[in-house]
Amino acid sequence: MAKQVHIRVDDDIYKELSDYSVVSGQSMQDCLSVAIRQMLVKAKEEPSQDCNGYTFIDLFAGIGGMRLAFESAGGCCVYSNEWNKYSQQTYYANFGVQPDGDITKVQAESIPDHDILVAGFPCQPFSIAGVSKKNSLGRATGFEDKTQGTLFFDVCRILKAKRPKAFMLENVKNLCSHDKGRTFQIIQESLRELNYKVFFQIIDGKGYVPQHRERIVIVGFDKERYGENVSFSFDLHPLKKQPVVRDILEKEVSEKYTLSDKLWIYLQNYAAKHREAGNGFGYGIAPLDGVTRTISARYYKDGSEILIEQRGKNPRRLTPRECARLQGFPDSFKIPVSDTQAYRQFGNSVVVPLMSDVAKLIVAKLEQLDTDPQIEIAFSNIPQRKVI
């Protein structure tokens, strides 16, 4: 629940604040909120301590699912970036850190050195036309030509500038088939052009939570440091007992989550219409002893993809806490935003225990590589390049 605070500022500060509001595209209220959060973070900052684990940065951080995953693997986050103000609010409430804003305006060189780059980057269309034209003319194209104008380009330019030991990227399963596979082809080419050994796999989160959620995970290791012969396997260890929907349900749920008669009738009619047309569109009643469909950022609209049956009344949608559990967030995770924003945030997030498992595999591989005397000797003989 937002509170109102009235403040007075001098004319010169008001002018600067007004100008900055226009440049940043944010309201003056949002600018002040960010400034106050940053001031509070600064005020309670502890003296910097040596990190015993690998350092990582959290790009397109959302509400911090990836951060939880890599911290569980012993990692230390040294930088986070997320543009959405509501996600920033949730991130701050849980980690005491105000993520940096628009990644496209961040100089790569200003980002702290780190061992692992972590990013759940959004998938945007890549322009194939310019690349095809250059190829027809016999001209070489680089990742800057192929990915400019997409947020994946920002991942590439940070990899180029900071040269972390490894990276982990996450995206929707359909990334592989987007634009007849050409988008994913460009992504692989760009990462390999940066001299990283790339591995990827589509993984379903249902072995860790009661939700069918397939995502592609892309992992890479620096060939300039570790050489060409790096191997990596997604040797995951899901739970021995399959989690089921009833495991995540709250015992007492407010009536506000029960569907209204009007909405429930609409959903039933909508499903019937599509059944007659021969397709499977419609609402989904989650089996209590099974797994749900994939929760999405649109869950706030009507909750139709995951409904819980109720005896003697209309079904209900999941509560925000149940959505958090469905993604594997601990109950200690704070939800400071409205239900609408919470549904969007958890729908956009990751299955935390699955990503924790992958994070541990990456850390274990780095520990193996970094203690290999042959790699250490080879790396020490390579002239360290200067990034311009």
Q: Which pLDDT belongs to residue 106?
A: 94
Q: Kindly compute the dihedral angle of the four CA atoms of residues 192, 171, 70, 204, in this order, to the nearest 10 degrees.
A: -110
Q: Which amino acid is at 86?
A: Y
**Residue 176 annotated in active site:** no
> Hey, what CATH class is 1-44 in?
mainly alpha
* CATH number of the domain located at residue range(s) 245-348 in this protein: 3.90.120.10
Give residue 174's pLDDT: 85
Integer Rg of the chain from CA: 23
Residue 167: the pLDDT is 98
Nearest Cα neighbor of 302 from 252, 340, 333 is 340
| Pair 156, 190: CB distance under 8 Å | yes
H-type alpha helices, the chain: 11-24, 28-43, 65-72, 85-95, 129-136, 143-147, 151-162, 182-193, 223-226, 261-276, 299-302, 320-326, 339-348, 352-370, 373-380
Can you tell me the distance from the alpha carbon of 9 to that of 7, in angstroms, rounded to the nearest whole number? 7
Residue with tokens 């495991």: 247
- The pTM score is 0.82
The residue ranges of every structural domain in the chain are: 1-44, 53-241+350-380, 245-348
Q: What is the pLDDT along the chain (388 residues), one digit of tens a residue?
A: 667 777 776 666 677 778 787 777 778 787 777 777 666 555 334 334 467 789 999 999 999 999 999 999 999 999 999 999 999 999 999 999 999 998 999 999 999 999 999 999 887 665 444 444 444 544 444 556 566 668 898 999 999 999 999 999 999 888 888 778 888 898 999 999 999 999 999 999 999 999 999 999 999 999 999 999 999 999 998 988 899 999 999 999 999 999 999 999 999 998 888 777 767 667 999 999 999 999 999 999 999 999 999 999 999 999 999 999 999 999 999 999 999 999 999 999 999 999 999 999 999 999 999 998 776 665 655 555 443 3
Catalytic residue among 51, 76, 123, 176: 123
What is the topology classification, in CATH, of domain 53-241+350-380?
Rossmann fold (3.40.50)
Is there a shared CATH topology between the 1-44 domain and the 245-348 domain?
Answer: no
Structure confidence at residue 387 (pLDDT): 37
